[in-house]
Chain A
Amino acid sequence: MPNSKGRFGAHGGQYIPEILMNAVIELEEAYNHYKEDPEFNRELTALSNEYAGRPSRLYYAEKMTKDLGGPKIYLKREDLNHTGSHKINNVLGQALLAKKMGKTRLIAETGAGQHGVASATAAALLGMECVVFMGEEDTIRQALNVYRMRLLGAKVVSVKTGTATLKDAVSEAMREWTSRIDDTHYCLGSVMGPHPFPTIVRDFQSVISREIRQQVMEKEGRLPDVVMACVGGGSNAMGTFYHFIEDKNVELIGCEAAGRGIDTFETAATISTGRPGIFHGMKSYFCQDKYGQIAPVYSISAGLDYPGIGPEHAWLHDTGRAKYVPVTDDEAVNAFEYLSRTEGIIPAIESAHAIAHALKIAPKYSKDQIIVITISGRGDKDCAAIARYRGEDIHE
């Protein structure tokens, strides 16, 4: 029997239609070639540094630290990247790779719109066509990002099928790729989907943990005790964890979107409420009913509103190397407001899930310990929705 590829323990694999198989094989071969190519890496580093503004800061959140009275809190500022989130790290890598493969067109899915904006940006920069699939529900929640994508020259397709959120946008992008492979690269935005995407996206995002290591060593002369990040599909968390996986003394914590709570049906906390399944090209954990129908998940955060999780996270969970915790809408909104007031940093509502959990656990750590939290993106895009959540109707 054939050997299935791209496994993380039992998870991962390539559960996709035959029509797409040669496309992912071609992608894997190109990636394996270019990742070792000095010229490719030189170009990517130049783009990341000169265009996207890397390295991002590791900021000592002194007021937050004092306020919590416990461990030193550092924030990894992916919100300061060009386009306002960590998504640009992956997109620049994939767009450059696609260009080297001779592709002229990028398609992408987006939830909160951050990956869509990053894809549209890279396409503009590299002179490629770009089509972004976004759930209709999310085009309403994140209207500003829809406009940004259009401004950047991308076409935004509003997806009305299913729950009209991120999972449907992924399904629609996969369908589009099925009908147009020759000139098109599917620029998947998270550490999910069929092999080789979880590996490619993780590698491009692992710049986050590579920098954290170096920066925390410079500032503190030692590794942190905890690194944490929010998890939907899990790309910023995978990037944050990756270079710490072998350091068993560093706790890895992923913060999932619990929506209205993991005891309700309005949740997107996959590890807490899901079970093993096969969907969107991968074996992993998914929120689903007893017959394997994918559950209509919910979170206030469009970027975490996804019924699955990347296969490498599923494996880190199985092995106990990383811990995944649920964070509710309420807790995230409180943290969104807390970080804005305390540090003058408005985090993305996605990232606020990680802040919320830090607020909960900080008292359990001592003053000589260090927690690093990745701020995956900035929160400007969320202001109108959070205002609505608080009962205030503002117009963007």
Chain B
Amino acid sequence: MNKTHKIADAFAAGKAFIPFITCGDPDLETTKEIIRSMAANGADLIELGIPFSDPTAEGPILQSASLRALKGGVTTDKIFQMVRELREDACAPVNLPMVFLTYANVIFSYDAEKFIRSCSEIGINGLIIPDLPFEEKGEFSDICQKYDVALISLIAPTSANRTAMIARTAQGFVYIVSSLGVSGTDTKSDTDISSLVELVRENTSLPCAAGPSVSTPGQAAMLAQHADGIMTDAAIIKLIEKHGRDAAAPVGEYVKSMKEALLCV
């Protein structure tokens, strides 16, 4: 596929908003509608979660979303097919950059080369793998390189002396985990984001996106004073949990409010 969308595009015009969605929660048709709604309401890049049975880096809200999706029968192949349909839609193809978030075993057990080649074919721009730290990047990095899929690095408040090393070999954008704990929990963000971002910038020219425990436009605007983009997960999952198959409109409104807040930064 001729990629007309690049991760860099997401950060080209001001602060980026990067919403997350668990594919197949509650079903893939709804996921498709929500992705379109996100795109139409100002999302700059979308993080698509491929559910894993045992997401050890995620809190109860995201765990439940994965469970609902898996119970509904979603699989990696069905998610690939959904992305392909969105990208190749004759009338209204989805053209913004998209990345997958999933656990190492989902990729490894599918056959890493087959998985990453498929990503490239269907127009997935990058991979975020919460249980793949710098030391284990070698598991997938050569294959990602080969198929031009960015292997996105995470930097945490506890990274300290590791920050520079991680930033120097980062690709796509740098994902700055803004608080301790698992994702989707309301931990207060007591991390000094500005100095973390500064340290990252000394070592790479890539954009920095912070998240995912950001839920309100106010929080987003504050964090965006330092970061180039804002990532949000639990707030969206909660909307989907509440509205189910009718979630596309309320999620769209939410994305719009977050993006508007970022436009003012």
Contacts and interface: CB of A to CB of B under 8 A. Distances in A.
Q: Which of A2, A18, A174 has the most CB of B within 10 A?
A: A18
A4 interface: yes
Given A17-B154, A22-B160, A278 B131 contact: yes
Interface string A157-181: 0000110000110010011001111
Nearest to B142: A1
A261 interface: no
Contact of A18 (B75, B104, B138, B154): B154
B141 A1 contact: yes
B110 to A, nearest CB: 6
Q: Which of A14, A167, A276 has the most CB of B within 10 A?
A: A14
Nearest to B109: A292
A280 interface: yes
Contacts of A14: 133, 135-136
Contacts of B104: 15, 278
Interface in A278-322: 278-281, 283, 286, 288, 290-294
A277 interface: yes
Interface in B104-144: 104-110, 130-139, 141
Contacts of A23: 158
A341 B103 CA distance: 48
A291 B134 contact: no
A13 interface: yes
Given A4-B136, A22-B160, A277-B108, A162 B182 contact: no
B133 A171 contact: no
A1 B70 contact: no
A5 interface: yes
Contacts of B103: 278, 292
A27 to B, nearest CB: 13
A5 B58 CA distance: 25
B108 A22 contact: no
B160 A18 contact: no
A16 interface: yes
Interface stretch (B38-46, B49-57, B193-201, B229-237): B49-57
B92 to A, nearest CB: 29
A288 B104 CA distance: 13
B172 to A, nearest CB: 16
A2 B134 contact: yes
27 contacts: A2-B134, A2-B137, A4-B138, A17-B154, A18-B133, A18-B156, A18-B162, A18-B177, A19-B158, A21-B156, A21-B162, A161-B60, A162-B54, A167-B54, A171-B54, A174-B56, A175-B57, A175-B59, A179-B180, A276-B108, A278-B139, A279-B105, A283-B108, A291-B76, A292-B105, A292-B108, A294-B53
Interface string B136-165: 111101000000000001111111111000
Nearest to B76: A291
A5 B106 contact: no
Nearest to A21: B133
B41 to A, nearest CB: 30
B131 A16 contact: yes
B134 A21 contact: yes
Given A171-B54, A277-B108, A292-B105, A18 B136 contact: no
B131 A2 contact: no
B133 to A, nearest CB: 5
Contacts, number: 134
Interface residues on A, range: 35 or more
Nearest to A281: B131
A288 B162 CA distance: 33
A374 to B, nearest CB: 29
Contacts of A275: 109
A132 B138 CA distance: 34
Interface of B: 52-54, 56-60, 63, 70, 75-77, 103-110, 130-139, 141, 153-162, 166, 177, 180-182, 185, 187
A280 B56 CA distance: 8
Interface string A1-37: 1111100000001111111111100000000000000
Contacts of B159: 18, 21-22
A307 B148 CA distance: 34
B130 A17 contact: yes
A181 B156 CA distance: 13
Nearest to A280: B56
Given A14-B135, A277-B105, A288-B105, A19 B110 contact: no
Nearest to B181: A179
Given A175-B59, A178-B181, A291-B109, A18 B54 contact: no
Contacts of A168: 54
Nearest to A167: B54
Contacts of B162: 18, 21-22
Interface in A50-102: none
Contacts of B57: 17, 19, 175, 178
Contacts of B58: 175
Contacts of A4: 135-136, 138-139
Contact of B136 (A13, A162, A280, A286): A13
Contacts of B155: 18
Q: Which of B75, B108, B160 has the most CB of A within 10 A?
A: B108
A19 B177 contact: yes
Nearest to A174: B56
Given A2-B135, A281-B131, A179 B182 contact: yes
A255 B5 CA distance: 53
Given A4-B136, A15-B132, 15 more contacts: A19-B57, A21-B158, A174-B56, A175-B59, A179-B181, A277-B108, A278-B105, A279-B105, A283-B108, A291-B109, A292-B76, A292-B106, A292-B109, A292-B110, A293-B106
Contacts of B156: 17-19, 21
Contacts of A1: 137-138, 141
